[in-house]
Amino acid sequence: MARTTITILCENTAGGIFGVLGEHGFAALIERDGRSMLFDTGQGHTLAHNAQALQKDLIRVDTVVLSHGHYDHTGGLPQVLFPPRGVELIAHPEVFGEKYAELETAEGTQRTFIGLKYRRAYLETSFNSRFRLLRECTEIAPGVHFSGEVPRRTAFEEPDRRLKAMAGGSLQPDPFLDDASLLLETDSGPVVLLGCAHAGMINILEHFAEQTGHRRFHAVIGGTHLGFHGQSGPLEETLEALERFGPELIAVSHCTGQPVAALCAQRFTDRFAFANAGWQHTF
């Protein structure tokens, strides 16, 4: 176990500390055992600014973990990799996939590239960094577990079919094999940190339970991607299933969406927090 502090550096909204800014994206700084690890990097608009406002030194970061290959989680990579110092980048191999969003507008279907905009060669050679690509659940530091690929087992956690990936020369629904999360073993108990939970929050928790033996999680923090469900049945089934893991803190961010965050606040009351930019908690 280890004393662990998680600070949200990038998120859609900001609060708590004067001068912190919001952007559509997510990044969380993990400080433990004298080390700093960054989980995602936001779009790149606010990462360095918010780190300075929160008195966090990005130069101390020696590991960056990417939850998946979307621009709003990877765009700040140059900010954290500079100056070049051999930062390790951990992700699933499919993080470099060609990813798009197809959204319906008044003018018809709009297709937008939303993938990682930097080539692997650029990130490794320009910043003296190195990628460690993992498909399996792996302990990447003492008490820090990278999920790897998450099996889809629940019947109620549906994929967001607006999100596509190029496969075999045509756009297909993105299977999000690269969707990864972290489990941190802390003094308070296991803490799960989500990027967007495209694999399904309950699938992720079940996967960590199977891989690590933890059946209860002290906290679940980050993006849940529950917002695209609205207030439909799948949302209620997900929240009911979440209770099985006995979380004492549910701190939602980013792709959860404000209406769903409000419903979570009503349901979980004093166990709920909104993990916006500037939010910090020590376990």
Q: What digits encode the pLDDT tens for the residues 65-99?
A: 999 999 999 999 999 999 999 999 999 999 999 99
Tokens 């792709």 belong to 255
Q: Contact 43/76 with Cβ under 8 angstroms?
A: yes
Q: Is 12 helix (H, G, I), strand (E, B) or coil?
A: coil
DSSP state of 255: G
- The residue that leads in pLDDT, 105 or 150, is 150
User: What six digits make up the tokens of 122?
Assistant: 């650029």
Phi, psi of 6 (to 5 degrees): -115, 125
Query: What value does the mean pLDDT of the chain take?
Result: 95
| Plot region of 2 (φ>0 → left; ψ -120 to 50 → alpha; else → beta) | beta
Q: Could you report the per-residue pLDDT of 31-57, keeping only the tens digit for each? A: 999 999 999 999 999 999 999 999 999
Average confidence (pLDDT) over 179-195: 98
Nearest to 145 by CA among 186, 116, 95: 186
Q: What are the φ and ψ backbone dihedral angles of 281, each rounded to 5 degrees? A: -150, 140
Question: Mind listing the domains of the chain with CATH numbers?
Answer: 4-276 (3.60.15.10)
* DSSP secondary structure letter of residue 210: H
The pTM of the full predicted model, rounded to 2 decimals, is: 0.96
What gap in Å lies between CA 30 and CA 45, rounded to an integer?
20
